[in-house]
Amino acid sequence: MVIMTEQHTGQAQPEGAQLLNIKAKETMSREQLADLLEGLAARIRTGEATVSDGVTAETLQLPHTLKVELEAKDVTRRSGRIKREFELEMEWYVDAHGQPEQGTKPTGISIS
């Protein structure tokens, strides 16, 4: 399972506060990945998603608009093998209490 998320407020954190940092990697079938993404899509629609690496879990409050970055590229390894990568990243700012700040206007990214 691949769950990578980070939230930064850009402001000084209250003393003792910890920044969110959950990371996990897992090999899965296309069907398993589709199930994960469908679950993520459903949670995005509700405005709340709980992410877990199997040890730690954190519930994220999502704003109405998020910054989304899409990247697809080929990387040539030293062995000469070509590794294809597809990344979809979501970002947003949160306040000192982890509540989302409102994002920017949507752009024209699409997946079909």
Q: How is the chain split into domains, by residue range?
A: 3-91
DSSP string, 46-110: HTEEEEE-SS-EEEEEPPSS-EEEEEEEEEE-TTS-EEEEEEEEEE--B-TTSPBPP--------
Q: Highest mean pLDDT: which of 29-38, 51-60, 62-71?
A: 29-38
- Encode pLDDT of 3-19 as tens digits: 444 444 444 545 555 78
The C-alpha angle with vertex 20 and arms to 11 and 89, in degrees rounded to 5, equals 95
Query: pTM for the full model?
Result: 0.72
CB of 39 closer than 8 Å to CB of 76: no
- Encode pLDDT of 63-106 as tens digits: 999 899 999 999 999 999 999 999 999 998 888 888 888 766 66
